[in-house]
């Protein structure tokens, strides 16, 4: 049960962080300025920051690597929880965490967009009647 709680918290946190990086403005529009700078000077990163799936996949491996190196006893990413915390599995753990993060963020984002579209459709239908 504890693992499921960690995975749910991890999933919601990664969705929130990805959503903030892709769509957020931040205080004093700092995130908008960073995205604009990257689009103009570092195209690869700028384009990545416009895509929920790309940003979340990259966050997945970065957070997984951080968990493996800096917090090896905490183990909070999904595959750090399930696979042995052994240097033998580090590449598999990082790859699977990246895949999981990309997939779960995409799933949450798709569900959120579906509800948003449905709400807009129903509001338009009510307003036109």
DSSP designation for 29: G
How many of the other CB atoms lie within 10 Å of CB of 55? Answer: 23
What is the per-residue pLDDT across 56-87, written as a single tens digit (0 to 9) for each?
Answer: 999 999 999 999 989 888 888 999 988 887 77
Residue with tokens 């969705």: 15
**Over the range 11-37, which residues count as b (16 or more CB within 10 Å of their CB) and which as e?**
beebbebbbebbeeeeeeeebeeebee
Rounded to 5 degrees, what angle do the CA atoms 104, 35, 62 make?
45
Q: What is the DSSP string of 63-100?
A: HHHHHHHT-TTT--SHHHHHS---GGGHHHHHHHHHHH
What's residue 14's pLDDT? 97
Give the chain's residues under pLDDT 70. Answer: none
């Amino acid at each position: 049960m504890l693992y499921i709680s960690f995975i749910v918290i991890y999933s919601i946190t990664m969705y929130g962080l990805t959503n903030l990086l892709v769509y957020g403005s931040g205080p004093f529009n700092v995130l908008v300025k960073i995205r604009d700078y990257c689009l103009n000077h570092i195209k690869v990163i700028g384009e990545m920051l416009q895509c929920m799936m790309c940003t979340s996949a990259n966050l997945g491996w970065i957070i997984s690597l951080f968990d493996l190196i800096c917090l090896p006893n905490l183990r909070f990413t999904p595959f750090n929880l399930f696979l042995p915390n052994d240097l033998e599995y580090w590449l598999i753990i990082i790859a699977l965490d990246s895949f999981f993060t990309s997939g779960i963020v995409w799933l949450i984002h798709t569900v959120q967009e579906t509800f948003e579209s449905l709400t807009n459709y129903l509001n338009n239908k009510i307003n036109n009647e």
